Amino acid sequence: MSKARAEKIKLVLFDVDGVLTDGSIWLFPVGVGVEPTQAAGVKAEPGGHPLVNMVEAKAFHAHDGTAVSLARAAGLKVGLITKRMTEAVRVRARDLRLDYVLQGVADKRVALEEILHTEGLQAEEVAFVGDDIIDLPIMRACGLAFAVPNARAQVKEAAHVITERAGGQGAARDAVEYILSAQNKLKDAMAAYLRGD
């Protein structure tokens, strides 16, 4: 049944923390007495302590970057939807030339509806890969829902497929290869990637 769902997919969307990363959030202080970044969500400390600006860093897996290239070679669109807002995600998304980069999104189901309207797609033509309860509404609405093995139990129960690899360790690649295999496009996509198409 999930293979039949995969055959219809035209767009793959990913959560970030816990899916494209292992869920770790690294915050590095970069200055004292300056305004904190909105993305880091740093507040003034009680008692008048100086504000510290933070840079948020994330580790992304190279295999997942290749997954985006394979999806593109097969004619699929790719994007991400995440609640957090970070420069690290913006930079990675630009490097991968993602079709959709939606940060600061609390209701991912609403974001899905906007994308469907823009693309002229049906919900069954979209796959989503998630790991936490904020992902449940979009997972229940889309055509093919993936969970990573490190996902919360409720998320794994809602998924059609659980990836072999954990978030930040190639889970996105697992999802893309699953879809392309079901569509009989994986071999050609790999050949196009190797040619540099």
Q: How far is CA 172 from the centre of its chain?
A: 8
Q: What tokens were used for 162?
A: 């659980």
**Can you read off the two tokens belonging to residue 64?**
């997942």
Beta bridge partners of 31: 53
Mean pLDDT of all residues belonging to the chain? 91
**What pLDDT does 188 receive?**
96
Q: What's the mean pLDDT in 127-135?
A: 98
For residue 158, give the amino acid letter. A
Query: Which residue type occupies 46?
Result: P
Res 50: pLDDT: 56
- pTM for the whole structure: 0.88
8-33 core/surface letters (b: 16 or more CB in 10 A; e: else)? bbbbbbbbbbbbbbbbeeeeeeeeee
Beta bridge partners of 13: 79, 128
Give the H/E segment covering residue 174: helix 171-182
Q: How far is CA 74 from each of CA 65, 112, 186, rounded to the nearest angstrom?
A: 15, 22, 8
Q: Does domain 2-24+59-195 have CATH number 2.60.40.10?
A: no
Q: Is pLDDT at 42 greater than 50 in this prediction?
A: no
Length of the chain: 197
Residue 175 pLDDT: 98
Q: What is the rounded distance in angstroms from the CA atom of residue 153 to the CA atom of residue 132?
A: 9
Joined tokens for residue 118: 């823009």
Residue 35 — very low, low, confident or very high, per pLDDT cuts 50/70/90?
low
> Tens of pLDDT along 93-127?
999 999 999 999 999 999 999 999 999 999 999 99
User: According to the model, what pLDDT value does residue 48 have?
Assistant: 53
Unique residue bearing structure tokens 């009680």: 46
CATH 3.40.50.1000 in the chain, residue ranges: 2-24+59-195
